Every structure is written in structure tokens, then in C-alpha cells.
Structure 1
Amino acid sequence: MLHDRLLKAIDTLGFTKPTDVQLAALPPALEGKDLMVGAETGSGKTLAFVIPMLQHFLDNPSPNTGTRGLILTPTRELAEQVCQSVKDLAAFTRITTMTVCGGTSFKEQAAEIRKNPEILVATPGRLVEHLERETMDFADLEFLVLDEADRMLDMGFRDEVMAVAEICRKERQSMLFSATLSHRGVRALLPEILNEPQELMLNTHQSGQENIHQQIILADDDKHKERLVEWLLANEQFDKVIIFSNTRLKAQWLAKSLQRQNRRSGVLHGDMSQDERKHVMNLMREGKINILVATDVAARGLDIQGLDMVINFDMARSGDEHLHRVGRTGRQDNKGLAVSLIDHSEWNLMSSIERYLKLSFERRRLKGVEGSYKGPKKIKASGKAAGTKKRKTDGKGDRKAAKPADKQRQRNVKQAGKRPSNKPSLGDGSMPMMKKKKPATD
């Protein structure tokens, strides 16, 4: 049975029934077992690892120890969101938590860490920096959670994750959560981090997509895509929308274009300071802006109420990234729309993502803003291999065998009127003379 203070917080937050991942993960996690969980984005997995941690701390108070719980996330935005979830669930307890991320003052963080918060939510890069400067230790650590483990590996944090796991206390409970447990690097981490884990696979590539209507629109180039975005924003019904771009420069360009149209829009990318990123996210959550142009820094973990449309200005570079982008909408049984704008250089990528996700995106055309690109040209099937000639048969379906004399006459006809070659035949035992190449001149 959960602690009364946890139940009070859950009731205050308005949660009435657990999600599938919570139903599956909470019982073994509360028993102290290590877990590896595959669950789609927006499934409620944050509570599946925060509740067991808080329950353990309430059942086993230890006020004079250091950090007892560590949650690693790939991005600052996800760290902030998870930290807020911890604070909400711990609202009626004295359990403290803080984020340890880049983009903020190192000295200020070190001062906060000296106050011994029981739970840290951190990104790997900044956390390793604190460990190297010996501003924290994990001698008292009881819980280690890797949230969005596949994304951390994709971002190149494997060495940092392994360094953190190595310095943590061996007698701990560890949990790994990932949207794609099939990721080639995730399972390689298991022997180093988890101890005889229980595996819970609650998603496939298609799960979590049922509430999302996915479409593609063909485009000529970025300027044409800009016009398509303008049409969608003017004609689709939405509360909030995220537009994804693959590069920071393109995201900034598109955001400025929308602002010139007096649209309430903001931009989010990895080169912004932490304060700038938090400010933009707060504006979005509060409804002061309703359009966010972002790079993939926003594709993981962000939960924004009322986000009912996603536009891929650029197609995601992989099926997993596409999965996480469109997963910003259609959350918690709500309906969502995801539109991908595809130019000639993205068709093959889009097709490979369709095959990977085992989905078929709806093809859509917007009247008045159609482009000239219609997709790859289709080659009509002729019933025979291209470049082959009709073979002669003997009337019984077998190819007629040409007689040697006939072949010689055909060669003689072809050579008629041509100058005799001075080159020796390769069949007479001699080798043709090779001309020396002239040296190249400047």
C-alpha cells in the first residue's frame, strides 16, 4: 500500500487510474527489483520510477545521508520536467530534489548540492563534470534511473553513463526506461548497470501511434515548405503546435518568418542558454505562445498540454526520432495530427521510416499551394527485363541455337566498311601495347 502522503499528492494531481506501464512496473519496482522497461513516449513512465523511489524514502527515512536517488535524462528540458514531477509527488513530504544540468552556474549548483538533496535529476555531461571536480559523491546512493536511455546513447553519452554507473554504490536498485529497447546500444549497458533485471516490453513501433493521424505533403524546397506551413497554420484547428527542423539555423529562420506574420511563436534549440530555454517552454505551457519551432532537443519527454499538431518541416533522420517527434501529440488518449513535408531528397528517408514503423502515411495535397514535385517517377512494368530484346524461339518455346556460320556472317556484316584494327587480338597470345600517359600539366 502506498504511503498516505503519496496518495494525497496523487489525488491532488488528479490521477484517477494508473496507465499500462504503471500497472506493469510499479509492483516489481516497489518490491525492489531492477527493471528494464520499453514504453512509448507519453505513457506515464515517469511516475513508474518516481513513486517507488519516494515510497522507499518514506518507509526508510535517512535524514543525515547524501544523495539517495539519481535520475539521468538526455536533455535539460526532460530533466526539468522530471524534477517537477518529483516535486509534485513529494509535495506533502520533506524529500528535496534539484536538477543538475548545463546552462546554469556551476558554482551555484555546487552550493545547492552541498545541501544534500535526496534526489538529483541530471544530464550526463554536467554530472560527470561535478564528479571530476569532486563536488558530489554517491556513497549513499540507493536508486539509479536511466530515463530515455536510447536517446542518451544516440547523443554520445555512453562513456558518461558508464562513468556514473561505475562510481555509484553497488548495492542499489536500478531501472532503465527506453522507448526502444531494441536499440543496439541499450542492451550492451545492462550487465554494467542492472542486476538480474525484469524486462517489461509494453510497446512496439506502432503503439502510441493509434491516436495520431499521420500525413505527408510533397514540397519543392524550403520556400515552398514555408508556404505549406503558413497554409496549415491558417486552416487547421489547433491549440498548440510544434514545428521540427533538423538544424538550428533553419529553426531560427522559420521562427522569424512566423513572427513577421504576427504569429505567437518561439524557437527552441540546443545553443540557447538554460534560462532562455526555460523561458520559452514556460511561455508555451502558459499559452502566451502557441507555436514552437524546435530542433530535436524538444523531441524527447516534453509534455505540453493542448499540443494537438506536429509539423515536420524536415523529415526526422531516423524512425525512432520520428516516433519521438510525433509522440509530442496524441498523448493520454487525445487525438493528434502529424504532418511531414517531403521534398525530393527526403522521399527515400520517408519510405524507410514507413517500413520501419510498419505504417502508411496518408498522402495529402493542399489546394492553391501545390508544388511541381510529384514524387519519384514510376517505371511501367513491361513484362520483361529492361534492355532485353525479344528472343527468337523454334516455335516450341525454346530459344533457337545460332549456328557458328551464322554468327560469323553476323560479325562480318557488322564490321563491313570499318577500318581494320591495328591492335593485336587478345586471343592470339600477344598483349596490346599500352601508350604512355603524358604527365599532367599545371
Structure 2
Amino acid sequence: MFSQFALHERLLKALAELKFVEPTPVQAAAIPPALEGCDLRVIAQTGSGKTAAFVLPLLNRLIGDAQPRVSIRALILLPTRELAQQILKEVERFSQFTFIKSGLVTGGENFKVQAALLRKVPDILIATPGRLLEHLNAGHLELKDVEVLVLDEADRMLDMGFAEDVERLVEECLNRRQTLLFSATTGGAGMREMVAKVLHEPQHLMLNPVSELSETTRQQIITADDPAHKERLVHWLLENETYRKAIVFTNTRAQADLLYGHLVAAGHKAFVLHGEKDQKERKLAIERLKQGGARVLVATDVAARGLDVEGLDLVINFDMPHSGDEYVHRIGRTGRAGAEGLAISLICHNDWNLMSSIERYLKQRFERRVITGLKGSYQGPKNLKASGKAAGTKKKKTESKKTGAKAVPKRKPSSAGGGQGGKPSSVVSQDGMAPLRRRKPAAD
């Protein structure tokens, strides 16, 4: 029960209004030490309730009677506009019975309007590093009186090249009393360096490591011959899977636009989201998905973080992400808060090694699946299938010795892939992952 925490009665009233009763594991672990003023390094899955785990202690520190605002008292830094907007909504929900005011500063919005907002001095400023640094350099704000600094999705900020910007902003918060660093993954050497620089005698909390990723989300792979084959698989999945809302991830903006055009032409209610879209278009895409005006969002990794959409129960990786951490964030859009989800990755010959490395990183093995009628000729590296063929040949030779008959070699199956209709079946393949041998891809 949230009532077990030493939270102000106005926050408990907001929690009751929002029907928050039982804290999630990350909230139960992080809220008590955060209320005590400890610096925290918290690693937990997306959808596990990280936002409330830092927003509630933050609001509890700032809560009080109405007073003139003379300085920004808390700063929350995030990697993307979408995540920043999501956090602003959560802060406003939890602070609805308080006098605390919050403001948002991200790229894609009017610079002068943001400058006017900063002159009003919100208690809590929620921002992306690049745009906030522009305002700092323009003399629109001071951060020396910030009491609490929160770095949310800190690993992603490093991945996006914000390390120097974040360090500069951290230095500006020179009188801060508490720093909270949250992420869904452990990150690498850059993250360890950041933790050492910005946290003072922190408590380290690791909830739901990646090896226990998304217990309620089924993870499957389907092999494909080329991008055109992948498109046919996406059409089949969107027409035959049971889902309310879906995201299809691509690695490039060009591929996202191309796939989006094909889906719309086929009659799917779809929107596209990537970094070249302006802020108005990005907001519209997300709102249409949330409200049900579109069932499918085609997106690059700009949508892999901060997107919390009720009923999003299918994620398709048209392209395999380049890292295990990015895979974690993509499929974290589904299976949230204990709901069931399905994540399907489409694997061509040039995706196999990436897929295998992500399996090793997660210490998991994805379910192999074949769509009857859409099975292609590519079923994994040749040397993975060779061991099975060799075993079969050996067995035939033994049998031929017993009978005195010659072993007749089997004809190679047609590469056309076959079968008609029927329900998709799942197949679990070989043991071990051998290095990929380069082979000429089928014509695009």
C-alpha cells in the first residue's frame, strides 16, 4: 500500500484519485531511500513504474504552501520529446492537489514561448538536454538552486551523444542535494563514468535485469529472404494476429516511410513516426494511436522510449535493432504493467548475427516460427543446418549396410517455400549459433 510510505497527504489523495493502491517492485524499492534523500542508481524494465518511483519522492520534497516562485527547484532530464511529454503528464497528475507547477522545454517547440515559460520559473523543469542547453547559453535560466536532479533513461542520453551536454547541465546544478539516475539497462563504460561523476555514495537498485525481460511478452523470430518478403510477412501478421494496437520498428526513416505507404495502400489505419517529422506531426501520430484513430504505428527508435500506449500488444521488428539495449526498449512498448504482449522479429541473412548476439545478451532463446504459405528459402546460416544433414547421412549409410541397398540422396527442396493457408506453427531449431557465412541475398 502507498500509505506505508511517508508521503504527504496531498500526494496520497492524488494516488487514491488515480486508483494507485499497490506499489510496483521498483516503487517499493526506490521510494523509501529517495524520501530519505539518498542518491540512487536504479535499473528497471520499461513499464515497471519507474516514473512514480522518482516523481513521488520529488514532489514530497517540494510540497508546501503557495509561495512566489524565485528559482527552479527540480530538473528532470530525458532523451526524447515524447518521453518528456509523458513525464510532464505524470507529474501533473500526481501534483494535482498541490501548488507545485511544472514546465516543459524540448526541441521542436517555439523558442520564445519556452523563454516566456522559463521567466515564470516553474518549480519542476522537464527537459531534453540539447534544447535546455540552448536556453542556458541564451541566459534564460539558472540552475544553481536546483535541489533535486533526475536523469531518466540516462543510458539512452549517452547513446544519443548527449554525454557532454548532460555533464554541463549537471555542473550547473552545483548546489543540488539529491541526484536520481534511472534507466532500463545497465549501459556500458560511459554509464559507469557518469554514475561516478554525478552520484554521491549512491544506493544501487537493480530490478528486473534484462535476463528476466518481459515475462509476459512472447518473443518470436520469423526468417525472411529479403525486404519484400518481410513486407508480405508484416501484412500477414497485421491481418491475422489478434491485437488492439501495434508498432512496426525500422532502422531507417526511408524504410519507415516506404513501409507506411504500403500499409496505407493496403487499407491499414497507420501513422508513421521518425526524427524528420516536425513536432506537430509527431504529436498527431501518437495521439491517433492512443485514441484508436490508427491501429498501427510505423516508427524508428524515436518511439522506442517514453511511449506508453494502452492496448499496445504487438511489436514487430521489421529491422533488427543494433544492440540488445535497444531491443529491450523496443519490445518494452508491449507487455507493460503485467499485460500480455507479443514481439516478433523478422530475420534476413544480414540480421542473423545481430539476433544471435541479442539472444546471448538477454540469456534467452527466441521462439522460432514459420508462417505456412510464407516460408522462404532462408532458414538460418548454412552451417547450422549442415550438422543435422550430416547426422541424417550417417544414419542412412548405416541402414544401407544392413539392407545392402544403396542410399539414394534426397532431392533439394524448392526455394519457393510452400503450403497453403492454415494456422502458423512454431518450430524450435538447432542448438548453438555458428558465425554467419556471407551469402548473396535474394533480389530486392
Tell me the TM-score normalized by structure 1. Answer: 0.84
Partner residue in 1 for 2:356: 351
Which residue of the partner structure matches residue 91 of structure 2? 86
Bigger shift: residues 206-215 or 372-381: 372-381
- Give 2:49's aligned residue: 44
Aligned residues of 1:83 and 1:98 also touching (Cα < 8 A): yes
User: Identity of aligned pairs, percent?
Assistant: 55
1:349 to 1:362, Cα distance in 2 relative to 1, 3 A: same
SS of 1:174's equivalent in the other structure is strand
Measured in 2, the distance between the counterparts of 1:97 and 1:7 equals 19
- Structure 1 residue 6 corresponds to structure 2 residue 11: yes
Shift of 1:62: 5.3
Taking the aligned partners of 2:262 and 2:187, their CA distance within structure 1 comes to: 39
Instruction: Report the Cα distance in structure 2 between the residues aligned to 1:147 and 1:255, rounded to whole angstroms.
Output: 31
Per-residue CA distance 1:265-324 (angstroms, 9 max, x = gap): 101101111121111111111111110000001111211100101000000111111111
CA positional deviation for 1:198: 1.0
Note if 1:219 corresponds to 2:213.
no
Is the aligned partner of 1:231 residue 2:236?
Answer: yes
Distance in 1, matches of 2:69 and 2:157, equals 32
Are 2:69 and 2:120, in contact at CA under 8 Å, matched by a contact in 1? no
SS at match of 2:120: coil
| SS state at 1:26 partner | helix
Question: 1:309 pairs with 314, 320, 326, which one?
Answer: 314
- Cα distance in 2 for partners of 1:380, 1:35 equals 50
Alignment of 1:140-289 (within 5 A): 140-289=145-294
Displacement of 1:139: 2.3
User: Residue 166 of structure 1 aligns to a residue in which SS?
Assistant: helix
Deviations 1:3-38 (A, max 9, x none): 121111111212121000000000010011111111
Counterpart residue identity of residue 149, structure 2: L
Report the 3-state secondary structure (helix = DSSP H, G, I; strand = E; otherwise coil) of the residue aligned with 2:248. Answer: strand
Q: Does 1:55 align with 2:74?
A: no
Does residue 297 (structure 1) correspond to residue 302 (structure 2)? The answer is: yes
| Whole-Å separation in 2 of the counterparts to 1:182 and 1:114 | 36
> What SS does the corresponding residue of 1:185 show, helix, strand or coil?
helix
* Distance in 2 (alpha carbons) for counterparts of 1:65 and 1:169: 17
**Superposition RMSD in Å:** 1.5
Runs of 4+ in 1 over 4 A off after TM superposition: 59-62
Rounded to whole Å, the distance in 2 between the matches of 1:323 and 1:45 is: 15
- Residue 425 (structure 1) aligns with: none
- DSSP 3-state at the match of 1:206: helix
What letter is aligned with 1:346?
Answer: D
- Bigger radius of gyration: 1
Q: CA deviation at 1:171?
A: 3.6
For 1:408, the equivalent position in structure 2 comes to none
How big is each residue's C-alpha offset from its partner over 1:332-379, in whole Å with a ceiling of 9 and x where there is no partner? 111110000000111111111111111111111111112121211123
Residues in 2 aligned to 1:139 and 1:301: alpha-carbon distance in whole angstroms: 28
Once the two structures are TM-superposed, the CA of residue 168 in structure 1 deviates from its matched residue by 0.9
Match of 1:391 in 2: none
What is the CA-CA distance between 1:244 and the residue it aligns to?
0.2
Per-residue CA deviations over 1:89-110 (Å, capped at 9, x if unaligned) read 1111121112110001111100
Q: 1 CA distance for matches of 2:68 and 2:182?
A: 28
Match of 1:74 among 73, 79, 83: 79
Q: Does the CA contact (< 8 Å) of 2:145 and 2:175 recur in 1? A: no
SS in 1 for 2:189: coil
Matched-pair contact (CA < 8 Å) for 2:248–2:297: yes
Structure 1, unaligned runs of 5 or more: 384-442
Q: 1: CA distance between counterparts of 2:142 and 2:218?
A: 47
Does residue 342 (structure 1) correspond to residue 347 (structure 2)? The answer is yes
Cα distance in 1 between the residues matched to 2:115 and 2:199: 29
Q: For residues 89-104 of structure 1, what are the structure 2 equivalents within 5 Å?
A: 89-104=94-109
- Cα distance change, pair 61–181 in 1 and its aligned pair in 2 (3 A): farther
Residue 208 of structure 1 and its aligned partner are, at CA, apart by 3.3
2-structure distance, mates of 1:319, 1:61: 46
Alignment pair present for 1:323 and 2:331: no
Equivalent residue, structure 2, for 1:30: 35
Letter in 2 for 1:248: R
Contact 1:76 1:102 in 2 (8 A): yes
Q: Tell me what 1:332 maps to.
A: 337
> What is the SS of the residue equivalent to 1:80?
helix
2:210 counterpart SS class: coil
Q: Which amino acid aligns with 1:160?
A: D
CA deviations 1:139-195 (Å, max 9, x no partner) are: 221110000000000000000000000111334211000112252211101232111
Partner of 1:214, secondary structure, is: strand
Contact 1:165 1:192 in 2 (8 A): no
Q: Aligned partners of 2:279 and 2:387: how far apart in 1?
A: 55
What letter matches 1:7 in structure 2? L
Unaligned runs of 5+ in 2: 1-5, 392-444
- One-letter amino acid of the structure 2 residue matched with residue 92 of structure 1: F
Contact 2:26 2:207 in 1 (8 A): yes
Distance 1:63 1:330 in 2: 43
Q: Is contact 1:70–1:119 with CA below 8 Å preserved after alignment?
A: yes
- Which secondary structure state, in structure 2, belongs to the residue aligned with residue 345 of structure 1? coil
Contact residue 40 and residue 207 of structure 1 kept, 8 A: no
Instruction: Answer yes or no: is 1:127 the counterpart of 2:132.
Output: yes
Aligned position for 1:20: 25
Higher helix share: 2
TM-score, scaled to structure 2: 0.84
**Aligned counterparts of 1:368 and 1:103: Cα–Cα separation in 2:** 45
